[in-house]
Amino acid sequence: METYDALLASITPGSGETRTIFDPATGGVVGEAPVHTVADLETAVTAAVAAQPAWAALGHDARSAALFKAADAVERSAEELAQLLSREQGKPLNGPNARFEVGACAAWLRAAAGTPLDPEVIVDDGETYAELHYRPIGVVGAIGPWNWPMMITIWQIAPALWMGNAAVVKPSEYTPLGVLALVKVINEELPEGLLSVVSGGREVGARLAEHPAVGKLMFTGSTTTGKAIIRSSADTVKRLTLELGGNDAGIVLPDADPKTIAEGLFWGAFINTGQTCAALKRLYVHDDIYDAVCEELTTVANNMPMGNGLDENNVLGPLQNKAQYDIVANLVDAAKASGARVLLGGNPDPGQPGYFYPTTLIADIDNNNPLVAEEQFGPALPIIRYSTIDQAIEYANALDVGLGASVWSPNLTAAREVAARIEAGTVWINKHGAVDPRVPFGGAKQSGYGLEFGVEGLKHLGVPQVING
């Protein structure tokens, strides 16, 4: 375990071009990140190609043991990693935020390492015998986002490594330091060259997507960038797992208890200050309990402190960057101009340092309003009335994205019937965004394709091979 300063110093380049990373809560300098080039990427890919065969040859048990040790290493440096994450990304240490994210990194490493993937007998009828195996792909490229930079990197690389692949990571330009530090810690337990980080710009990501030596690319980010990656990867027929933008709907059925569900609704929408692909971003509430849900949700939201993430009292932080702040502010301003009712927030303090946008709840808003129809990715939730279940489902399914959704009701049978009619990769009941390393996760429609987590996630990081005879 290193001190925070030692960990930061270990990833700060001694020479070459750097990018200054600023704290989105204060504007202060967090550190200097290397600006890697396409030539650096080529070096990393070459090293990965060289290291991968020996890693694959170790077998599942030895690879699992190494990943369990990597999880231990993450836990030894957990507080230092969380401090860096809070400074760089902005999320508070407490609540479902920085310490939670670092803990999830260790948990997902262990989950991947402990999930068996045995050969499957497809046919055995006395005449034909066929088995399905999954072989390593080779080199996996991983392009991550700025909202959960450490955790999503682990989601990408842990199963890739367990399946016998090498990995090259390209972090977001907004949050490279945390990923560099995380991989540095993990590499204490891995062979040299197997896992590397290339902290560069768009040209590095574009080259990774088209690189002929990269057999699989995993990407979490916007739908627009995902489409560009699809085009870039076409010439090499690269395998892809794409977790793209979402605008998740939640439907509250008329028999739900507003007070009981209010805190779950809040965290479904405002986890990581709303900066989560699978956060609740549109809330549909039946007329019968609409006012009560608005009242209870406002009460909960009022009691959730927002501020500098290093303050142990806070559970909400700033937007990570100015561009995202402007998106949220513009969408809320448009909603206010349309006559929608502001229950809470919507009034940022221009004199406050950092990219803080107050927790905002907007009621009596039209379903076609931009705050509803466009992904806000921040701490502003529109609450829309509906009169019939058919109307709510029509509203929920109207957009061209479908990452997650939720249904809220004490009647699980009724909730599951509604869930089955929603066009989304995951529909939660009485919760939202609760991912589990054992449960496959992926999007529908333009929210992407491919699965992560569990046995199915491992399969997506291997090449299927049938042995017949």
Q: Is the pLDDT of residue 389 over 90?
A: yes
Q: Which of these is catalytic: 173, 277, 294, 452?
A: 277
Give the range of the structural domain holding residue 462, as residue numbers without chain letter.
4-244+447-468
Is there a single domain that holds both residue 197 and residue 150? yes
Name, in order, each residue with C-beta under 8 angstroms of 356's C-beta and a sequence gap of 6 or more. 25, 306, 307, 317, 318, 319, 348, 349
pLDDT computed for residue 351 by the predictor = 87
Q: Which of these is catalytic: 210, 243, 296, 375?
A: 243
The mean pLDDT of 375-393, rounded to a whole number, is 98
Q: Which residues pair with 243 in a beta bridge?
A: 220, 448
pLDDT computed for residue 111 by the predictor = 97
Q: Is the pLDDT of residue 365 over 80?
A: yes
Neighbour order of strands in the sheet with 129-136? 120-124, 129-136, 462-468
Is there a single domain that holds both residue 301 and residue 331? yes
Q: Is residue 442 part of a domain?
A: no
What confidence tens digit (pLDDT) does each residue in 278-327 have? 999 999 999 999 999 999 999 999 999 999 999 999 999 999 999 999 99
Which amino acid appears at position 238 of this protein? Answer: K
Is there a single domain that holds both residue 381 and residue 394? yes
pLDDT computed for residue 350 by the predictor = 87
Q: Is 105 a catalytic residue?
A: no
Is there a single domain that holds both residue 88 and residue 76? yes
As a whole number of angstroms, the distance between CA 426 and CA 444 comes to: 9
CATH code, 285: 3.40.309.10
Is there a single domain that holds both residue 320 and residue 205? no
Q: Which residues pair with 33 in a beta bridge?
A: 19
Q: Is the pLDDT of residue 1 over 80?
A: no
Q: Is residue 375 part of a domain?
A: yes
215: confidence class by pLDDT, cuts 50, 70, 90: very high
As a whole number of angstroms, the distance between CA 417 and CA 121 comes to: 34
Is there a single domain that holds both residue 107 and residue 37? yes
Q: Is residue 197 part of a domain?
A: yes
Q: Is 277 a catalytic residue?
A: yes
What confidence tens digit (pLDDT) does each residue in 248-271 have? 999 999 999 999 999 999 999 999
pLDDT computed for residue 124 by the predictor = 96
Q: Is residue 434 part of a domain?
A: no
Q: Is residue 23 part of a domain?
A: yes
Q: Is the pLDDT of residue 32 over 90?
A: yes
Domain count for the chain, please give it: 2
147: confidence class by pLDDT, cuts 50, 70, 90: very high
The pTM (predicted TM-score) of the whole model is 0.96
Is there a single domain that holds both residue 232 and residue 339? no
